[in-house]
């Protein structure tokens, strides 16, 4: 290797180190002085799973900020109640029944949204299910249902709405994943796996667009990693030290998600303190990590075998 090549490599390494230090300082700066929140008035926000829980609170929150909210849910009646609550308060909202796990249905309903409301500028993939089973108790149909709702639905909605965002150089993708995608546990062989895949999908797509736009992608991405939120998804959870576990309300969680999107935050764990702690734990040897996991005693009991999620 020639001397010039070695010098160029050393310069490149130095530049990378300086960039890393800059981005660390930038992150610390944003902790103490948060970015100004973007105005979302007039934006068309599509939220999957908007009938209840976090999805409903997101719909109410964005509508209160002046956005036009498109609510998707498989539960037609409850979804319409969400929209009715918004419209009675003077907001703008539209209800569409859609099974997001069904690609043909997503394509069909997406076309209706484009014609009747307009092009979606903020897509929030929130819909999800969290059945709890022992691995060998899963049926083929139940496994497929969880993967289709929690993972494949993201592909179908992204395929429908991302192209127009790219064409218009304007858009934001918000992915509701879970801290369970990083910290796994017994009985989570489908839910944790599906959420881990969603986290990877979001990271890959963000990096892919950055590559083709030389780091200046017009599409923003926000990955949300909630812990325990008081919704129907969290059932029969047990903790050795309950006082360590911070259950979040859907309202508070939705508020944090909206703020993160408006500030172009790339990744947010809820509560935010969990992210650093979990990443620190993950660098430990596997046996040490397992020891701490056992000590904390976090466990979710299996569902009644008679319950079906198909």
Under 8 Å between Cβ of 74 and 99: yes
| CA 25 to mean position of chain CA atoms | 26
Per the annotation, the verdict on 213 as an active-site residue is no
d(CA 177, CA 222): 10
Under 8 Å between Cβ of 41 and 66: yes
Q: Residues 62, 94, 191, 289: which is the catalytic one?
A: 191
d(CA 48, CA 70): 9
- Cis peptide bond prior to 271, omega within 30° of 0: yes
Name the residue among 151, 235, 242 with its Cα closest to residue 198. 151
d(CA 288, CA 276): 17
Catalogue the active-site residues: 191
């Amino acid at each position: 290797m020639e001397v010039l090549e070695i010098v160029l490599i050393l310069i490149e390494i130095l530049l990378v180190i300086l960039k890393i230090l800059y981005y660390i300082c930038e992150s610390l700066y944003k902790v103490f002085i948060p970015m100004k929140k973007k105005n979302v008035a007039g934006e068309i926000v599509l939220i999957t799973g908007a009938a209840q829980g976090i999805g409903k609170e997101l719909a109410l929150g964005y509508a209160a900020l002046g956005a036009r909210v498109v609510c998707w849910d498989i539960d037609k009646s409850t979804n319409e109640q969400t929209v009715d609550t918004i419209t009675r308060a003077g907001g703008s909202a539209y209800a569409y029944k859609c099974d997001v796990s069904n690609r043909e249905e997503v394509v069909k309903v997406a076309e209706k949204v484009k014609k009747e409301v307009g092009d979606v500028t903020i897509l929030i993939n929130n819909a999800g299910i969290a059945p709890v089973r022992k691995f060998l108790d899963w049926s083929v149909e139940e496994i497929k249902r969880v993967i289709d709702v929690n993972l494949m639905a993201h592909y179908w909605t992204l395929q429908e709405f991302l192209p127009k965002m790219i064409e218009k150089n304007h858009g934001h993708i918000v992915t509701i994943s879970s801290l369970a995608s990083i910290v796994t546990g017994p009985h989570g062989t489908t839910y944790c796996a599906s959420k881990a895949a969603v986290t990877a999908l979001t990271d890959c797509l963000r990096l892919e667009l950055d590559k083709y736009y030389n780091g200046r992608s017009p599409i923003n991405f926000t990955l949300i990693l909630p812990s325990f939120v008081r919704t129907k998804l969290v059932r029969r959870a047990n903790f050795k030290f309950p006082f360590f576990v911070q259950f979040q309300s859907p309202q508070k969680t939705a508020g944090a998600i909206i703020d993160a999107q408006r500030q172009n935050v790339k990744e947010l764990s809820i509560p935010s303190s969990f992210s650093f702690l979990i990443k620190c734990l993950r660098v430990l040897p596997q046996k040490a990590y397992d020891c701490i996991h056992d000590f904390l005693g976090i466990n979710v009991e299996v569902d009644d075998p008679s319950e079906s999620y198909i």
